[in-house]
Amino acid sequence: MIEDLEYETDRRQDITDGRRRNFKQGWTRAVEGQEYQDVLEELTWNNLCWRLGKMFGETPDDLREEILDWCVEQRNATGSQ
């Protein structure tokens, strides 16, 4: 499962409402069993959430929001900008 989280380049940019939607869409696609179509070597908000959705499956919206907020804080704290 850890290999599902590996990436070469962090392409996540500052979070916006659109990127929040992308995050949620990625999770939904994973839960629906859709494979990720783009490159996973580059980390984006969409494919990060797809990866998390593959790992955790169905998750209430409030917990997904909490996870997203944690990911934003983690990104900002580590300088992955």
pLDDT digits (tens, 9 = 90+) for 49-81: 999 999 999 999 999 999 999 999 999 998 765
pLDDT the model gives residue 81: 55
Calpha distance 55→51 (Å, rounded): 6
User: Which of 40, 41, 60 shows the shortest CA–CA distance to 50?
Assistant: 40
Strands (DSSP E) found in 1-81: 9-10, 42-43
Model pTM score: 0.83
